[in-house]
Amino acid sequence: MRPTRWLWIVLVLSGPCSSQMMSQAPIGGAPQRVAIPFKLYQDYLIVVHGSVGTFEGMNFLIDTGANVTSIDRKTARKLELRGHDAKLAVLDGKVRVERVVLPRLQIGSIRVESLPGLVQDLSFVDRLVGVRIDAIVGLDFLGRNSFTVDYESQKMVFGPIEVTASEVPFRTPAPMVTVDVRVNAEAVKLLVDTGTQNLLLFERQLRNGLRRLPTRDVRRSFNSDSTSFETKEIVLSKIQLGTADLWPRKAFLTDGNAYFDQSFDGALGPRSLGLKWIAFDFERGSFGWR
């Protein structure tokens, strides 16, 4: 069995900052359309340069599966941030974090002042990506403007999005964007997660047809707290997003979702289906792709 590591930083347990985190106010000072280059690691992880407070030249991982932005503990110490303890739900467990208010988060010319966020040890992300990661930027920041991700040109563009031929409505909007997907003709609601490499399904929430599929490989994986959990590889006969049939048809089952809000059935990594361009259109409430 080959060990794997999943990047899953999705839900924060309820606390005093929750309503602020889900604010959908426009980003102050953002131009109509802003293009931001990024580097792609392992063919799916998006890393951009940005700043927190007065510290510039930092590496930010763009993660649409995170609903709250997190910064590394070392960065928080440099900024002399102080907050209060909380717990963060990850696959098969919870990790201790600290709630803080970031003085300013900026990517290119896009910035948010006084953004509620989290402090945690991001060294596991460094190992996964292969470069130092100072912050994981979630949809609390990203979801305030529509944006596209072009994996081929390695650019993100914030601003109005033209109607695309392939799109589906959001099942739930930011800060947790989910879409309806049909897997082997069964409907599942999946989180659109650029921080996930594969199509991941929560086994306990599936119907018997999917749960009983033969497994081709069983892997021991690890969450951000180094807690192990099991994933089982399966092969699907059909994946439909809207009216489109998508490839490849490999997925993973896991039971490591006990600590999550179980209102969705797993996560969809866009690159796992060969998508070259994706769009989060918050004005029209849709997810598009090419």
Q: Count CB atoms within 10 A of the CB of residue 228.
A: 12
- pLDDT tens-digit map of 209-220: 888 898 887 776
Residue ranges matching CATH 2.40.70.10 in the chain: 7-15+30-158, 167-275
CATH label, 7-15+30-158, candidates 3.40.50.720, 2.60.40.10, 2.40.70.10, 3.40.30.10? 2.40.70.10
CATH number belonging to domain 167-275: 2.40.70.10
Separation of alpha carbons 38 and 54, rounded Å: 21
Structure tokens at 103: 């003085």
Stated pTM of the model: 0.87
pLDDT over 60 (residue 265): yes
Structure tokens at 100: 């803080």
pLDDT attached to residue 22: 34
In which band, very low, low, confident or very high, does the pLDDT at 169 lie, cut at 50, 70 and 90? very high
User: Which whole number is the average pLDDT over 37-42?
Assistant: 97
pLDDT over 50 (residue 124): yes
Separation of alpha carbons 221 and 236, rounded Å: 21
Q: Which residues pair with 84 in a beta bridge?
A: 99
Query: Under 8 Å CB-to-CB from 199, ≥6 apart: which residues?
Result: 190, 239, 250, 251, 252, 266, 267, 268, 269, 272, 273
pLDDT attached to residue 2: 37
Q: What is the DSSP letter of 274?
A: T
